[in-house]
Chains A and B, each alone.
Chain A
Amino acid sequence: MDNGHAERQQPILSVRNLKTYFFQDEGLVRAVDGANFDLYRGKTLGIVGESGCGKSVTARSVLRIVERSGRIIEGEILLRREDADGQIDLLDLTKLDAESRLMRSIRGKDIGLVFQEPMTSFSAHYTIGNQIAEAVGMHLKLSKEQARQRAIDMLRSVGIPKPERRVDEYPFQLSGGLRQRAMIAMALSCDPSILIADEPTTALDVTTQAQILALLEGLQRERGMAIMLITHNLGVVAEMCDQVVVMYLGRVVEKGPVDQIFHSAKHPYTQALLLSIPSIESEPRVKLPTISGSIPHPYRRPNGCPFHPRCSQAMPGLCDAQVPTLLPVGPDQEASCFLYHQPVEPA
């Protein structure tokens, strides 16, 4: 635990009961349906879940770049930031207009984003340098020449060799690993206090994955930013994160410190997820346990606890009727499951 002054112990970003719904012709999709978590300076928060559980939409909600059909309908996203006078204030991002000058000055400046797809996250029509310098020039009010120099420095700091040359190259001239490094350089170019990394290593091969993770860790130590790491890879979580949030169908089902989640997971979904990772101790030639069933169709969300149709410990009459809430199940650890709590309201 960090024992700096009181300010450092305050979360830099708090997400409270966030609900982002998509209103589509075919029906309503509750992509994020009550997400709660905090981000601390210098710490990494892992957001874990299967694909389609609302991890990426959560990240986009924080940046307020959800597609047109999606809307934040409830909740708060509280960002602690220094305003123009050096005062610390707490800004609720959900209250801002997504296109406002203030929100745009937060995107890229206070919060950086690194994306899953190093192939397509850069536009193929401009040089790497052009795309990095663009953000730098805008947020830090630098001249073209200064912005370019800054882009070169950033490329160097993420370990790209010959940055003076790379800066004028196009994305397709870089390998996947280098491109992801360039992407990190771009996200960090304005020195943000929060970095959102959305599956930053999924598309990379294993060696490159390890290098990119090490790079992120090193940069975090240097710069002290908070990282929100979105991944479906529990190995990455174990390696990188301090805190973990497990999401299922848009809801947080469990959260807590990484050790507790890995060693004493409470929610049946978390337990099932952990069981499905191959381990050195597991018997050879024995099938890994899988979670039975598949994620329900987004338009057909089950009643009650969203996980109950796939849960081996589901209690008929309870889990399929009422929705559990996130409540403490141990020191710093919370889970939303009726195995640990009786329903709050009578049925």
Chain B
Amino acid sequence: MLAYIIRRFLLAVITVWAITVLTFVIIQLPPGDFVSIYINSLQSSGSQVSFGQAEAMRAQYGLDQPMTIQYARWMGMMLQGDFGMALAWNKPVKEIIGDRLVLTMVVSISAIMLTWMIALPVGIYSAVRQYSFGDYAFTFIGFLGIAIPNFMLALILMYVGYKYFNMSIGGLFSPEFENAPWSLAKAGDLGKHLILPAVILGLAGTAQLIRIMRANLLDELRKPYVVTARAKGLAETRVILKYPVRAALNPFASTVGYYFPYVVSGSIIVSLVLGLPTVGPLLLTALVAQDMFLAGTIVLMLGILTVFGTFVSDLILMWIEPRMRMEG
């Protein structure tokens, strides 16, 4: 078991490293270096920068050094928690993304929890009542969920809300809480606003997980241990919930590792449409303005958090599987 955890942990570390390299490459991709972009943005706001100052800045950020050394310096900065400056805001990146990163995770995790709460019972129902009306209905909704990209669903719902209910859906806070400090009331307000993004983000995943759960459970229902459990005289509900559902849960849980990055990914684009104060809109503005320190940090942070989430879900998965716990 320890060996397994160590292996997974090493993989997570390697993944994070791969993400840092990728992020660094992305930061380097646009033409011109950070300093020239920075100077441009300063000039457009009216300040003047001399050539000497620019060279000094280049030296300070190590831009005159070879790539590998630049990477090492950049990594050093990152490790010290210095993520550079966000150009448009003229503030440290750290200050700008802190809250938004937390909200991104809040939105993603609520979507995942919602997905589980729906997919699990519906998947069980669909398998146990295979080919029933309900099974067909859920399959149909599921297909729609997969076929409508989530940003389109967000658009449609916003349009419907605006046009027919005369309310603007979107945002994560009511105006009165927007800039208020955290309080119980603000958290409650957040909770109310979370439902819609969670549904939009979770729909496609829910549809997929229902199908996975249904297929797994159908496989498990045919296994001899189910007959054994029935032959013991257990009530059917108990037979199904205790044995095949328990077994079908494992492959189901293992998909969460892949599902998490998918949801985080989706949250970016859904946030843009719904105007949620997550890192999504920030990433887009940063990319459009070629503010690569900000964009790079966001990509990096999302990557790291996703890897962390996947690692945790791996650990949970291992814990619920006795075979892996005993032998692993």
- Chain A stretch 89-110: residues in CB contact (< 8 A) with chain B: 99, 104-109
Chain B residues with Cβ below 8 Å from A193 are none
Give the docked Cα–Cα distance between A186 and B225 (Å).
12
A122 with B225: CB separation less than 8 A = yes
Give the docked Cα–Cα distance between A186 and B229 (Å).
11
Assuming the A-B contacts A120-B223, A121-B224, A123-B243, are A63 and B323 also in contact, with contact meaning beta carbons closer than 8 angstroms in the complex?
no
A135 with B233: CB separation less than 8 A = yes
Chain A residues with Cβ below 8 Å from B322 are 124-125, 170
In the complex, A307 has a CB within 8 A of chain B:
no
Least CB distance from B120 to A in Å reads: 16
Binds B, one of A8-16, A46-54, A111-119, A253-261: A111-119
Give the docked Cα–Cα distance between A105 and B235 (Å).
10
Please report whether the interface of chain A is mostly helix, strand, loop or mixed according to DSSP.
Answer: mixed
In the complex, A213 has a CB within 8 A of chain B:
no
Chain A residues with Cβ below 8 Å from B242 are 123, 126
In the complex, A295 has a CB within 8 A of chain B:
no
Least CB distance from B274 to A in Å reads: 40
- Chain B stretch 220-248: residues in CB contact (< 8 A) with chain A: 223-225, 227-236, 242-243, 246-247
In the complex, B288 has a CB within 8 A of chain A:
no
A108 with B233: CB separation less than 8 A = yes
In the complex, A310 has a CB within 8 A of chain B:
no
Give the docked Cα–Cα distance between A65 and B322 (Å).
29
A106 and chain B: residue at smallest CB distance: B233
Least CB distance from A121 to B in Å reads: 5
Give the docked Cα–Cα distance between A179 and B246 (Å).
21
Interface residues of B, count at CB 8 A: 21
In the complex, A134 has a CB within 8 A of chain B:
yes
A117 and chain B: residue at smallest CB distance: B224
B225 with A172: CB separation less than 8 A = no
In the complex, A173 has a CB within 8 A of chain B:
yes
Assuming the A-B contacts A123-B246, A124-B247, A125-B247, are A107 and B326 also in contact, with contact meaning beta carbons closer than 8 angstroms in the complex?
no
Chain A residues with Cβ below 8 Å from B225 are 120-123
B224 with A107: CB separation less than 8 A = no
Chain A residues with Cβ below 8 Å from B234 are 104, 108, 134-135, 138
B224 with A116: CB separation less than 8 A = yes
Least CB distance from A38 to B in Å reads: 21
Assuming the A-B contacts A120-B225, A124-B323, A125-B322, are A107 and B231 also in contact, with contact meaning beta carbons closer than 8 angstroms in the complex?
yes
B130 and chain A: residue at smallest CB distance: A68
A63 with B326: CB separation less than 8 A = no
Least CB distance from A67 to B in Å reads: 9
B222 and chain A: residue at smallest CB distance: A67
A135 with B232: CB separation less than 8 A = yes
B228 with A107: CB separation less than 8 A = no
Chain A residues with Cβ below 8 Å from B323 are 124, 170, 172
Least CB distance from A176 to B in Å reads: 14
B233 with A138: CB separation less than 8 A = yes
- Residue among B229, B232, B236 with the most chain A CB within 10 A? B232
Chain A residues with Cβ below 8 Å from B231 are 63, 65, 107-108, 111-113, 187
In the complex, A156 has a CB within 8 A of chain B:
no
Of A107, A112, A124, A138, the contact of B230 (CB 8 Å cutoff)? A107
In the complex, A60 has a CB within 8 A of chain B:
yes
In the complex, A139 has a CB within 8 A of chain B:
yes
- Chain A stretch 20-48: residues in CB contact (< 8 A) with chain B: none
Give the docked Cα–Cα distance between A124 and B326 (Å).
12
Of B230, B243, B326, the contact of A65 (CB 8 Å cutoff)? B230
A99 with B236: CB separation less than 8 A = yes
Assuming the A-B contacts A60-B227, A124-B322, A124-B323, are A109 and B233 also in contact, with contact meaning beta carbons closer than 8 angstroms in the complex?
yes
Give the docked Cα–Cα distance between A183 and B230 (Å).
14
Chain B residues with Cβ below 8 Å from A99 are 235-236
Chain A residues with Cβ below 8 Å from B236 are 99
A117-153 interface code vs B (CB 8 A; 1 in, 0 out): 1001111111000000011001100000000000000
Of B228, B233, B235, B321, the contact of A122 (CB 8 Å cutoff)? B228
Give the docked Cα–Cα distance between A123 and B229 (Å).
9
Least CB distance from A55 to B in Å reads: 14
Give the docked Cα–Cα distance between A109 and B232 (Å).
8
Assuming the A-B contacts A109-B233, A124-B247, are A115 and B326 also in contact, with contact meaning beta carbons closer than 8 angstroms in the complex?
no
Of B232, B243, B246, the contact of A108 (CB 8 Å cutoff)? B232
B224 with A120: CB separation less than 8 A = yes
Assuming the A-B contacts A123-B246, A124-B323, A170-B326, are A104 and B227 also in contact, with contact meaning beta carbons closer than 8 angstroms in the complex?
no
B positions within 8 Å CB-CB of A: 223-225, 227-236, 242-243, 246-247, 321-323, 326
Q: Given A115-B224, A123-B247, 14 other A-B contacts at CB below 8 A?
A: A65-B227, A105-B233, A108-B232, A108-B233, A111-B231, A115-B228, A117-B224, A120-B223, A122-B228, A123-B242, A135-B232, A138-B232, A186-B228, A187-B231
13 chain-A/chain-B pairs, Cβ below 8 angstroms: A63-B230, A65-B230, A99-B235, A106-B233, A109-B233, A121-B227, A122-B225, A123-B229, A123-B243, A123-B247, A125-B321, A126-B242, A187-B231
Q: State the 5 A-B residue pairs at the shortest beta-carbon distance, nearest first.
A: A108-B233, A107-B233, A113-B231, A108-B232, A135-B232
